[in-house]
Amino acid sequence: MERINFWKHNDKMIIFFDFSGCNEQEFIETLEHSRSVVRKLKKDVLLTLVDVTNTESNDRTNKAIKEFAAENKPYVKAGAVVGVFGIKKIVYQLVMKFTGRNNLKLFNTVKEAKDWLATQ
Protein backbone atom coordinates (compact mmCIF):
# COMPACT_ATOMS: atom_id res chain seq x y z
CA MET A 1 0.00 0.00 0.00
CA GLU A 2 1.41 3.37 -1.01
CA ARG A 3 1.25 5.70 1.96
CA ILE A 4 2.52 8.88 0.31
CA ASN A 5 0.47 10.40 -2.47
CA PHE A 6 0.18 13.70 -4.30
CA TRP A 7 -3.40 14.88 -4.77
CA LYS A 8 -4.74 17.79 -6.76
CA HIS A 9 -7.74 19.38 -5.09
CA ASN A 10 -9.32 22.59 -6.38
CA ASP A 11 -6.15 23.33 -8.36
CA LYS A 12 -3.89 22.96 -5.31
CA MET A 13 -1.30 20.20 -4.94
CA ILE A 14 -1.49 18.39 -1.60
CA ILE A 15 0.94 15.78 -0.35
CA PHE A 16 -0.89 13.09 1.61
CA PHE A 17 0.89 11.08 4.30
CA ASP A 18 -1.25 8.07 5.22
CA PHE A 19 -0.21 6.69 8.59
CA SER A 20 -3.70 5.30 9.25
CA GLY A 21 -3.77 1.90 10.89
CA CYS A 22 0.02 1.71 11.23
CA ASN A 23 1.65 -0.26 13.98
CA GLU A 24 4.88 1.13 15.42
CA GLN A 25 7.19 -0.41 12.82
CA GLU A 26 5.00 0.59 9.85
CA PHE A 27 4.71 4.09 11.27
CA ILE A 28 8.49 4.52 11.60
CA GLU A 29 9.13 3.10 8.12
CA THR A 30 6.48 5.35 6.54
CA LEU A 31 7.84 8.34 8.41
CA GLU A 32 11.37 7.68 7.13
CA HIS A 33 10.08 7.42 3.57
CA SER A 34 8.04 10.61 4.10
CA ARG A 35 11.13 12.41 5.36
CA SER A 36 13.09 11.52 2.22
CA VAL A 37 10.24 12.69 -0.04
CA VAL A 38 9.86 16.05 1.71
CA ARG A 39 13.59 16.81 1.54
CA LYS A 40 13.42 16.69 -2.26
CA LEU A 41 10.73 19.38 -2.46
CA LYS A 42 10.78 23.18 -2.30
CA LYS A 43 10.66 24.98 1.01
CA ASP A 44 7.66 26.93 2.30
CA VAL A 45 5.25 25.74 -0.40
CA LEU A 46 3.95 22.32 0.69
CA LEU A 47 0.36 21.71 1.60
CA THR A 48 0.37 18.54 3.68
CA LEU A 49 -2.37 16.24 4.87
CA VAL A 50 -1.48 13.67 7.53
CA ASP A 51 -3.87 10.89 8.55
CA VAL A 52 -3.04 9.23 11.87
CA THR A 53 -6.39 7.47 12.32
CA ASN A 54 -5.97 4.27 14.36
CA THR A 55 -2.19 4.61 14.42
CA GLU A 56 -0.27 3.03 17.25
CA SER A 57 0.85 5.74 19.65
CA ASN A 58 3.70 5.22 22.10
CA ASP A 59 6.86 7.00 23.23
CA ARG A 60 8.79 6.00 20.10
CA THR A 61 6.10 7.07 17.61
CA ASN A 62 5.37 10.27 19.53
CA LYS A 63 9.06 11.23 19.52
CA ALA A 64 9.36 10.39 15.82
CA ILE A 65 6.36 12.48 14.79
CA LYS A 66 7.60 15.38 16.92
CA GLU A 67 10.97 15.29 15.14
CA PHE A 68 9.30 14.93 11.73
CA ALA A 69 7.07 17.96 12.38
CA ALA A 70 10.04 20.04 13.48
CA GLU A 71 12.13 19.04 10.45
CA ASN A 72 9.27 19.80 8.05
CA LYS A 73 8.58 23.27 9.39
CA PRO A 74 10.65 25.05 6.68
CA TYR A 75 8.91 23.10 3.90
CA VAL A 76 5.25 23.36 4.88
CA LYS A 77 3.11 26.35 4.05
CA ALA A 78 0.04 24.77 5.69
CA GLY A 79 -0.76 21.36 7.08
CA ALA A 80 -3.88 19.47 8.06
CA VAL A 81 -4.09 16.47 10.36
CA VAL A 82 -6.93 13.97 10.73
CA GLY A 83 -7.40 11.12 13.16
CA VAL A 84 -6.34 12.94 16.33
CA PHE A 85 -8.63 11.93 19.18
CA GLY A 86 -8.26 11.33 22.90
CA ILE A 87 -4.68 11.09 24.14
CA LYS A 88 -3.40 11.92 20.66
CA LYS A 89 -4.71 15.47 21.15
CA ILE A 90 -2.30 15.91 24.05
CA VAL A 91 0.55 14.61 21.89
CA TYR A 92 -0.54 16.99 19.10
CA GLN A 93 -0.49 19.95 21.50
CA LEU A 94 2.98 18.97 22.73
CA VAL A 95 4.24 18.67 19.14
CA MET A 96 2.85 22.11 18.35
CA LYS A 97 4.52 23.60 21.42
CA PHE A 98 7.85 21.82 20.86
CA THR A 99 8.10 22.67 17.17
CA GLY A 100 6.67 26.18 17.27
CA ARG A 101 4.37 25.20 14.43
CA ASN A 102 1.33 27.38 13.97
CA ASN A 103 0.45 26.30 10.45
CA LEU A 104 -1.10 22.90 11.29
CA LYS A 105 -4.80 22.42 11.90
CA LEU A 106 -6.86 19.43 13.07
CA PHE A 107 -9.85 18.14 11.11
CA ASN A 108 -12.38 15.36 11.57
CA THR A 109 -12.36 14.17 7.96
CA VAL A 110 -10.00 14.05 5.01
CA LYS A 111 -12.53 15.97 2.91
CA GLU A 112 -12.67 18.84 5.41
CA ALA A 113 -8.88 18.90 5.52
CA LYS A 114 -8.52 18.94 1.72
CA ASP A 115 -11.09 21.71 1.38
CA TRP A 116 -9.27 23.86 3.94
CA LEU A 117 -5.85 23.20 2.38
CA ALA A 118 -7.23 24.28 -1.00
CA THR A 119 -7.85 27.75 0.47
CA GLN A 120 -4.28 28.21 1.67
H helix intervals, 1-120: 24-38, 59-72, 87-99, 110-117
Q: Tell me which of 3.40.50.2000, 3.40.390.30, 3.30.750.24, 3.30.56.10 is the CATH number of domain 4-117.
A: 3.30.750.24
Separation of alpha carbons 81 and 107, rounded Å: 6
pLDDT (0 to 100) of residue 26: 95
Angle between helices 87-99 and 59-72 (to 10 degrees): 40
pLDDT (0 to 100) of residue 5: 95
pLDDT in tens, the chain (120 residues): 599 999 999 999 999 999 999 999 999 999 999 999 999 999 999 999 999 999 998 999 988 988 898 899 899 999 999 998 887 888 778 777 877 777 889 899 999 999 999 999
pLDDT (0 to 100) of residue 89: 82
